[in-house]
Amino acid sequence: MLEINEDNRPVLVGERTNVLGSRKFKRLVAEGEFEAAAEIARAQVKSGAQVIDVCLQDPDREEAADVNAFLERVTKMVKVPLMTRLDGLARSWSSASSGARASRS
């Protein structure tokens, strides 16, 4: 958990782990290269990101499977909070919650 206060502002958010905003990330996810996709998050943390923004909402893919596969890998590589967008997973909340549990372990 990241507590935001006057002493640690501004908070730097890594936004390259978004299939809607990064062609490279989208391509890696589409190819099932989740280890390489997680490496993008690691590089952002190494460059100073304090939070990683994750969005896997690709209408052409099975989002729940992508969330689980990506979170399983990224949580082993980075130890900063993840800000995830799970809007499209309302229908399959059990998959989303299992991915969220993986991100906390």
Separation in Å, CA 62 to CA 27, 56, 69, 81, 104: 14, 9, 11, 24, 22
Question: Domain boundaries in the chain?
Answer: 11-104
* Bridge partner residues of 13 (DSSP): 51
Q: What is the pLDDT of residues 24-40, one digit of tens each?
A: 999 999 999 999 999 99
DSSP state of 77: H
Spatial distance between the Cα atoms of 72 and 66, rounded to a whole number of angstroms: 10
Q: What is the pLDDT of residues 70-91, one digit of tens each?
A: 999 999 999 999 998 766 655 5
Statement: the pTM of the whole predicted model exceeds 0.75? yes
